[in-house]
Structure 1
Amino acid sequence: MPIIVTVHVDVVLTILTVLGIGNRLWGLMYPNAVVFDEVYYGQFVSLYMKQMFFIDDSGPPLGHMILAVGAYYGGFDGNFSWNRIGAEYTGNVPVWNLRFLPALASALCISLAYQIVVELKYSHFSALIAALLIMFENALITQSRFMLLESVLIFFVLLAVLSYLKFYNMQRCSFSVSWWFWLFLTGTACALAIGVKYMGLFTYLLLLAIAGGHTWQIIGDTSLSNGGLARITQGQPLEIAFGSQITLRNVWSKPVPCWLHSHKNMYPIRYDSGRGSSHQQQVTCYPFKDVNNWWIVKDPGKQELVVSNPPRPVRHGDIVQLVHGMTARLLNTHDVAAPMSPHWQEISCYVDYNVSMPSQNLWKVEIVNRDANEEVWKTILSEVKLLHVNTSAVLKLSGTALPDWGYRQLEIVGDKSSNVYHQNMAWNVEEHRYGKSKAVC
């Protein structure tokens, strides 16, 4: 079986990286003399090269050690008198190597800035502008060309910010290898920033505050039980997308929960009362976990039943179709009386009998507890109403048990008469998976 490897290359990011390296490394040996704080950091580098023990009480040692790495690979023996600014470097001082790592760190900051803006969900054009501003910022160019620590510090700070944003944006892939990698890299980059200069501590505190805010948003979005919060942390995707496979639990079904359910049995052609039905596939609310509780959220304009890459989240106001997972039939309602509650509409999964009753299977998602009009439908957190597009009926639980032909399961109806919200109209996505998604974590 052939092994297929797919590689995605961001051409803009690649070009920015190459240009940034050229921008920062060009003419790195000029001037060939001690500049500003090189007179200070050079002394520590010489001590490292001579393997002499010393106590550095000016700050963390990591930055000086990074500069010493460049000196080591340049073959510097440590013999230079760092006694004044402007002193000419002698032939044994590898100036290019001493200045290389700060310059490289500054060059990579351009790429990091580009990716940070992208992770913040701004356009690639905005990210390009941000990267170009950093590339041609005169103070950063000047600072990066000498044996100083500021460029290294900025690199680790930006790496920490980018890593956290990558981690936060991977909620749909929680506990995957990539999710753990970015979380680990966030902590590592924060530690490295502090190891270069104590000012890096402020980056750690900033990310800690942001993470606390994000955690509070998740907890505060709804009155989650411990079980509900645990479900989020079990790796389920948070955002419902077109192609998601879900189970829908009625919010009103307490203390015994029940889930939107269908099976291959049809409504009787005639009920005991003599009324006729649509003879469509039964839809009920079932108080047990069952494979027939699973539904697929489908985009009415597409045939695909898998999540795209990247996923397209379902938002408040979107029109969807719900495909029953086991029978592949669409959730439907007509202007036909419900079996036990004739003042409401029957809910079914559509069966095409080639009669004059076309399918009416479009549903509008309305997030009841939303904070914004374009809020994304979320696992556990969102309480949604499903409004039938053709008849304006709301999918709800009547609470009445069906007869033996319905296996004593609870009746689901469409209510188009009530303008008053009740919890029997609201549904939670309790279980969620992308299934055969093309999304890669």
Structure 2
Amino acid sequence: MTYNPAQISLSPNLIHSHPHNYPQGSQEQQVTTYGFKDDNNEFLFEFGVDAGLRNQHATLENENSTRNGGNDDDYYHVIIHDGDTVRINHKNTGSYLRANAVGAPITSSSYEVSCFGDVESNDWADEWVIEIQSQDQSPDPMFQDEDPSEIHSVSTSFRLKHKQLGCYLATTGKSYPAWGYQQGEVVCKYSVFSRDKNTWWNIEKHVNDKLPLPATEYVPPKPKFWKEFILLNYAMMASNNALIPIQIDLINSVSNGGNGQ
């Protein structure tokens, strides 16, 4: 099972990780949001630690040698549902998405999110719980009787609750400094309101070559004007909040006739 989680809250960026560590806190691998598609945005969803102890791990379906020995094909047909416990593995580095009980680098009132470990680790701190928030329906009657408890790419909005800490994977609209390449901050925060769009995510793309193709081509949901309008405003606010100081200084210098120091 390969999924690309894309965040739909403050900006159209994708969740992202790369083999560079935080300079403080856990000093584990950084997790960010990034506005361009590359293979560091790709994650593998698999079930929780119990599945890992059974040696059931997600892998790329086009690999000849799978991480679970290639003898458990039925595992790739299991659909993720609302309330399921999952682990999220960063494809390129093999480490798992987790939350740590230390303050986030920029928003210290929330917890830090990192990637850590490898396929051999079975750490309960890597577990997240799926909470579906909304399902957009296809206009095609062929696709209108789908189970509302199932995760679908693009059309399902959901939250990820850290099973141990009880906080939610979220964006802040802020950017990391140079050590984080000015990419967007990702945190785990306590959120009382389920409608908090900072904590909403969807799957932009899902690849699973072991699933059969549908008999009818899928018709995506029609855009909803007010939903798109609200998300656009979130994106604009995030862009304004994420301006780095050197850009602000440059704008001020220009507006003051170029005499700024």
TM-score strictly above 0.5: yes
Give the aligned partner of residue 292 of structure 1.
40
Query: How many residues of Structure 1 are paired with residues of Structure 2 in the alignment?
Result: 182
**CA 1:250–1:440 in structure 2 vs 1: closer, same or farther (change >3 Å)?**
closer
Do 1:267 and 1:279's aligned partners in 2 also have CA atoms closer than 8 Å? Answer: yes
- Asked if 1:364 corresponds to 2:119, the answer is no
- Are the equivalent residues in 2 in contact too, given 1:391–1:416 (CA < 8 A)? no
Amino acid at match of 1:267: Y
Tell me: CA distance 1:420–1:312, structure 2 relative to 1, closer, same or farther (3 Å). closer
Assess, with a 3 A threshold, how the Cα gap between structure 1 residues 420 and 314 changes in structure 2: closer, same or farther: closer
1:318 aligns with 2:84: yes
| Change in CA separation of 1:419 and 1:349 when aligned onto 2, cut-off 3 Å | same
Does the alignment pair 1:247 with 2:4? yes
Q: 1:279: which partner in 2? A: 27
Q: Secondary structure at the match of 1:424?
A: helix
2:15 match:
260
State whether residues 331 and 361 of structure 1, in contact with CA within 8 Å, keep that contact through their aligned partners in structure 2: yes
* Pair 359,314 (structure 1): closer, same or farther in 2 beyond 3 Å: closer
CA shift for structure 1 position 304: 2.5
Question: 1:424 offset after TM fit, Å?
Answer: 1.3
Question: What's the offset of the Cα at 1:374?
Answer: 6.2
Which amino acid counterpart does residue 31 of structure 2 have in structure 1? V
Aligned counterpart, 2:242: none
Cα root mean square deviation, aligned: 2.3
- Cα distance in 1 for residues equivalent to 2:181 and 2:163: 29
Aligned residue identity for 1:376: E
Q: 1:294–1:325: 8 Å Cα contact kept in structure 2?
A: yes
1:378 to 136, 152, 172: 152
Deviation of 1:419 (Å): 3.5
Q: Which residue of 2 aligns with 1:434?
A: 208
Q: C-alpha separation between the residues in 1 aligned to 2:39 and 2:159? A: 23
| Alignment match, 1:327 | 93
- The TM-score normalised by the length of structure 1 is 0.39
Equivalent position amino acid for 1:392 in 2: G
TM-score (norm: length of structure 2): 0.64
Return the alpha-carbon distance in structure 1 between the equivalents of residues 191 and 10 of structure 2: 21
Aligned residues of 1:382 and 1:429 also touching (Cα < 8 A):
yes
- Give the C-alpha shift of residue 370 in structure 1: 4.8
Measured in 1, the distance between the counterparts of 2:167 and 2:94 equals 23
Matching residue's letter, 2:159: K
SS at match of 2:198: helix
Answer whether contact 2:154 2:202 (CA < 8 A) is retained. Answer: yes
Instruction: Name the structure where strand makes up a greater proportion of residues.
Output: 2
1:258 Cα deviation (Å)?
A: 0.3
TM alignment of 1:56-71, pairs within 5 A: none
Which one has the largest radius of gyration? 1
Segments ≥4 residues shifted beyond 6 Å: 371-374
Unpaired runs of 5+ residues, structure 2, are 62-72, 137-145, 214-261
Q: In structure 2, what is the equivalent of residue 305 of structure 1?
A: 58
Counterpart amino acid of residue 113 in structure 2? I
Aligned to 2:64: none
TM-superposed CA distance for 1:373, in Å, is: 8.8
CA spacing shift, 1:330–1:381, aligned 2, 3 Å: same
**Residue 141 (structure 1) aligns with:** none
Q: Taking structure 1 as reference, are residues 268 and 280 closer, same or farther at Cα in structure 2, changes over 3 Å only?
A: same
Give the aligned residue type for 1:297. F
Identity %: 29
Aligned pair in 2 of structure 1 residues 391, 373: CA closer, same or farther (>3 Å)? farther
Deviations 1:158-186 (A, max 9, x none): xxxxxxxxxxxxxxxxxxxxxxxxxxxxx
- Report Cα offsets for 1:66-89 as digits up to 9, x if no partner: xxxxxxxxxxxxxxxxxxxxxxxx
